[in-house]
Chain A
Amino acid sequence: MDRSIFVAGAAGEGIQTIGDVVARCFLAHGYPVFVTQEFESRIRGGNSSARIRVADEPRNATREEADVLLALNPVARERYADALRPDGLVISADTTTNGGNHLEIPFVSLATAHGGQELYANAVAAGALCAAVGLPFTALEGVLSSAFSKRGEEIVRANVAAGRAGFDRAVDQLRDRPVEGLPKRDASYAFASAHETLPVAAAVAGCRFISAYPMSPSTGIITAFARETDLGVFAEQAEDEIAAINMALGASAAGARAMTATSGGGFALMVEALSLAGMIETPIVIVLAQRPGPATGLPTRTAQEDLLFALRAGHGEFPRVVLAPSDPQEAIELTIRAFDLSDRYQVPAILLTDQYLADSRFSLDSLDLPTEIPGDHLADPEDFEVYRRYAPSATGISPRLPFGQGGRIVYIDSDEHTPEGHITEDLRSVRPAAVGKRLEKAGRLRREIRPPRTDRTDDAELILVGWGSTRYAIAEAVDLLRADGRKVGAVHFTELWPLPEVELREGAEYWTVEGNATGQLAQLLRGALGWPIEGTIGRSDGLPIGARFIVERIP
């Protein structure tokens, strides 16, 4: 079983609620789901969808086609008609049929009749959808009861009654085409998005400070810290992204592990301070949650357009780390790693995510914290006779103290500076040494970066190279192509900078798969590693890459 359900409608009609309820019904029944959100940048109206993919085993990648389309209004039905498979089922309040593949569910009137109010239309829709996909009513009853338990018995009762009405109406109409009931399974999954696990991981890593300016699709991160006060992170909404990163750098210099989160336009505003972090060798973790540009672009859509920007942003030359997790578990690992590398090497670390990772919930067997969490790398003030913040060393890394700790005085300057941290224009010895010190760290950092993951490359004639959020879609494309007899494999980067040295397998043809139009990873690999990348399968319309999209464009 591998089914795709689209819940489509206007913003404000309850798409996310219905999607979440039905997804949880599947999970409660023991089936893994992958839910992705696709919406317009508005609060009311327009066209949006929640897409639920349910399978016997976790299938954590978007599917472009729908087996079932729940359309909450006629425009949504029309708009998503192309996505519906030929034998697909439509659920709507319309009276027009769909060659028999249509369930006519008057959401609002059933809600009023059975729940007492129009607002229970969502429960009616969820009920009809459950019936249409073979879920028993008890699954929905359980999810609605626990979802609304805090709001009181009356609300639970009304929701359940409305859900029952939608369920029964659908069952009535399904008499001539019975739906096979899904057997209940004894299974549970970790169900989360990468932006839900990331803040938890940051707190584990010792983060104590976040300042950020709200910007889709990054806003969930600071919101999580503000809401979940037990994570112990101070959260401040800055007046702009420039303030956000400068506050975080101040906090970091004073000894607090600090981060910020933004998207492309906000990151552009942060770039001067990114260079500052490089110059003053002060750790900071920046989440760059990508969306399509240029400029404001498509605020609520997804893209991988900022890879080269993240790698190159900033005036002057300084080392940095760029990591791109591919799922919620990797978001945990790489967030902890970003804090550790940033602190250990005293460089900025950028976590590249995107709207797809931010807003899609994955089903994973488990979500685990690493057994060992690296500690802090602050120096001990007792270790110095005379403390110099930028004291030379073989590694380029100087012992770091926060301001005033143990009675020590710390000088930090954005100007070129002496080992003490004072402004200098000594071009003969201080400047060359300072440049060398900073770049020495880059060389050492590179040896820490882990090589990309390889998947079935041994006999591959065609190798698909991706990074970040496309991992599962590419793996699924490899499955489909292998099933078709093609010898295809994949290489996937999640640690992107400093670019690790990677051996190429001779005799295979390499293509990148990326959420951009210009093949940014291809440019990088050709330029920095001399890889003979033949071309790019790129997507830049704002929608996520699925396996079908790749297979249809395979050379």
Chain B
Amino acid sequence: MTTIEEYASPVENQWCPGCPNFGILAALKRALVGLDLAPHEVCLVSGIGQAAKLPHYLKANVFNGLHGRAIPAAIGIHVANPKLKTIVTSGDGDLYGEGGNHLLHAFRRNPDITVVAHDNRIYALTKGQGSPTTPRGERTRLQFDGVQIDPAQMLATAIVHGCTFVARGFAGDIDNLSEILTRAIEHRGLALVDVIQPCITWGNHPVSWYRERVIPIPVEHDPTDRDRALALAIDVKDAFPVGVLYEIPPRSTFAASYRERVGDGPLYELPRIDRSIPEEHLARMRVGS
């Protein structure tokens, strides 16, 4: 059995003391241990930002790439080695802003990866500018008159694009979040978990403000009900339904036809193609009398 100690990282944590990111870290560790995944079986992929540092703070494989580009890197990793549990952990600015286009197309591809969006509704590492999810009207260190544009609705976008697992979590409720993350990691296909992670330094509301407004998704909610899931997804100012909004049976996952030809192991284990194949290709290029 994997233990929580195996996931302990020696790296000094750079987050602000008391940041709800610690809650996400704890919930993720708990989920991985609960699933009995050993650290070498997990690959954490992130972009840039405070949230994107998470992979360093637990012990598993890490690809901490470019700002906004965690999703394509994760897709490449997953195709090359589907035995790894590939999990993207990055912020709303990284995943929804800089890399929004990649996430949109990832929904269509449906690779078997988990995407955890630390949604603090602010750019924290660059000191307090508006993010794609900052509500209209909120004042920031750059939008001095208040944000003038509407927030991105990524959970709804995910549902509309056929993402087969869409959830909202709250960093302040580790028990519930680790349950959601467990289901997301187990799900076959792309799973998006947007985690409300109040920024205690640049945010406009304290954690308590969010805690008062987080409401569990009613137990009678049918997660295959797309219309109802959409209604729960679309951001409302004063209440945040938390839990699994949408979950449908996994459809065919990404790279399936290629995997039918080469098997499901890591690509580095495949031998080189037989020399007769390229020789045959070159022979076909020969023409003459």
Tell me whether A189 and B288 are in contact (CB under 8 A): yes
| Most chain B beta-carbon contacts within 10 A, residue among A238, A254, A256 | A254
Q: Say yes or no: is A323 at the interface (Cβ < 8 Å to chain B).
A: no
Give the contacts of B263-282 with A (CB-CB under 8 A). 266-268, 270, 272-273, 275, 277-279, 281-282
Residues of chain B lying within 8 A (CB to CB) of residue A256: 76, 79-81, 267-268
Q: Say yes or no: is B168 at the interface (Cβ < 8 Å to chain A).
A: no
The segment out of B54-62, B169-177, B206-214 that lies at the interface is: B54-62
Tell me whether B285 and A410 are in contact (CB under 8 A): no
Tell me whether B61 and A423 are in contact (CB under 8 A): no
| Most chain B beta-carbon contacts within 10 A, residue among A187, A240, A244, A411 | A411
Distance in Å: Cβ of A118 to nearest Cβ of chain B:
29
- B82's closest neighbor in chain A, by CB? A254
Tell me whether A414 and B60 are in contact (CB under 8 A): no
Q: Say yes or no: is A190 at the interface (Cβ < 8 Å to chain B).
A: yes
- B284's closest neighbor in chain A, by CB? A192
Chain B interfacial residues counted at CB < 8 A: 58
Tell me whether A197 and B282 are in contact (CB under 8 A): yes
Point out the residue from A238, A404, A412 that lies within 8 Å of B84, measured CB to CB: A404
Total A-B residue contacts, Cβ distance less than 8 Å: 220
Give the contacts of B64-122 with A (CB-CB under 8 A). 64-66, 69, 71-81, 83-84, 101-102, 104-105
Q: Say yes or no: is A204 at the interface (Cβ < 8 Å to chain B).
A: yes
Residues of chain A lying within 8 A (CB to CB) of residue B4: none
Distance in Å: Cβ of B215 to nearest Cβ of chain A:
35
Interface range on chain A: under 10, 10 to 19, 20 to 34, or 35 or more? 35 or more
Point out the residue from B61, B77, B105, B288 that lies within 8 Å of A243, measured CB to CB: B105
Tell me whether B64 and A423 are in contact (CB under 8 A): yes
Distance in Å: Cβ of B88 to nearest Cβ of chain A:
11
Tell me whether B288 and A27 are in contact (CB under 8 A): yes
Tell me whether A423 and B53 are in contact (CB under 8 A): yes
The distance in angstroms between the C-alpha atoms of A242 and B83, with both chains bound, is 25
Give the contacts of B248-265 with A (CB-CB under 8 A). 255, 258, 261-262
Tell me whether A185 and B64 are in contact (CB under 8 A): no
Point out the residue from B62, B73, B258, B281 that lies within 8 Å of A421, measured CB to CB: B62
Residues of chain B lying within 8 A (CB to CB) of residue A196: 285
With contact pairs A403-B43, A403-B81, A422-B56 given, residues A254 and B76 touching in the complex (Cβ less than 8 Å):
yes
Tell me whether A24 and B287 are in contact (CB under 8 A): yes
Q: Say yes or no: is B126 at the interface (Cβ < 8 Å to chain A).
A: no
Q: Say yes or no: is B136 at the interface (Cβ < 8 Å to chain A).
A: no
Residues of chain A lying within 8 A (CB to CB) of residue B43: 254, 403-404
With contact pairs A246-B76, A408-B40 given, residues A423 and B56 touching in the complex (Cβ less than 8 Å):
yes
The segment out of A50-58, A95-103, A206-214, A499-507 that lies at the interface is: A206-214
Tell me whether B278 and A28 are in contact (CB under 8 A): no
> Scoring A residues 208 to 229 as 1 if CB is less than 8 Å from chain B, else 0, what string do you get?
1101000000000000000011
> Scoring A residues 235 to 250 as 1 if CB is less than 8 Å from chain B, else 0, what string do you get?
0101110111011111
With contact pairs A204-B275, A208-B267 given, residues A250 and B282 touching in the complex (Cβ less than 8 Å):
no
Point out the residue from A184, A209, A415 that lies within 8 Å of B289, measured CB to CB: A184
Q: Say yes or no: is B237 at the interface (Cβ < 8 Å to chain A).
A: no
Tell me whether A413 and B64 are in contact (CB under 8 A): yes
Tell me whether A413 and B62 are in contact (CB under 8 A): yes
Tell me whether A410 and B62 are in contact (CB under 8 A): yes
Tell me whether B282 and A367 are in contact (CB under 8 A): yes
With contact pairs A190-B286, A197-B282, A402-B266 given, residues A249 and B76 touching in the complex (Cβ less than 8 Å):
yes
Q: Say yes or no: is B51 at the interface (Cβ < 8 Å to chain A).
A: no
- B14's closest neighbor in chain A, by CB? A423
Tell me whether A253 and B273 are in contact (CB under 8 A): no
Residues of chain B lying within 8 A (CB to CB) of residue A191: 285-287
Residues of chain B lying within 8 A (CB to CB) of residue A280: 65
The distance in angstroms between the C-alpha atoms of A276 and B261, with both chains bound, is 31
Q: Say yes or no: is B41 at the interface (Cβ < 8 Å to chain A).
A: yes
Tell me whether B76 and A252 are in contact (CB under 8 A): yes
Q: Say yes or no: is B11 at the interface (Cβ < 8 Å to chain A).
A: yes
The distance in angstroms between the C-alpha atoms of A508 and B69, with both chains bound, is 51
Residues of chain A lying within 8 A (CB to CB) of residue B81: 254-256, 402-404
Tell me whether A248 and B76 are in contact (CB under 8 A): yes
Distance in Å: Cβ of A36 to nearest Cβ of chain B:
17
> Scoring A residues 389 to 414 as 1 if CB is less than 8 Å from chain B, else 0, what string do you get?
00000000000001111011111111
Distance in Å: Cβ of B64 to nearest Cβ of chain A:
4
Point out the residue from A238, A242, A254, A369 that lies within 8 Å of B279, measured CB to CB: A369
With contact pairs A191-B285, A409-B39 given, residues A415 and B266 touching in the complex (Cβ less than 8 Å):
no
Q: Say yes or no: is B158 at the interface (Cβ < 8 Å to chain A).
A: no
- A27's closest neighbor in chain B, by CB? B287
Residues of chain B lying within 8 A (CB to CB) of residue A188: 286-289
Tell me whether B289 and A185 are in contact (CB under 8 A): yes
> Scoring B residues 132 to 163 as 1 if CB is less than 8 Å from chain A, else 0, what string do you get?
00000000000000000000000000000000
Residues of chain A lying within 8 A (CB to CB) of residue B287: 24, 27-28, 188-189, 191
With contact pairs A30-B288, A203-B277 given, residues A411 and B101 touching in the complex (Cβ less than 8 Å):
no
Tell me whether B268 and A378 are in contact (CB under 8 A): yes
Q: A interface vs B, CB < 8 Å?
A: 24, 27-30, 184-192, 196-197, 200-201, 203-204, 206, 208-209, 211, 228-232, 234, 236, 238-240, 242-244, 246-256, 258, 272-273, 276, 280, 367-369, 373, 376, 378, 402-405, 407-415, 421-423
Other 17 A-B pairs with CB < 8 A, given A256-B76, A405-B268:
A186-B289, A188-B286, A188-B288, A189-B288, A190-B286, A209-B79, A236-B75, A244-B72, A247-B79, A248-B76, A249-B65, A254-B84, A254-B266, A256-B267, A373-B272, A376-B268, A414-B65
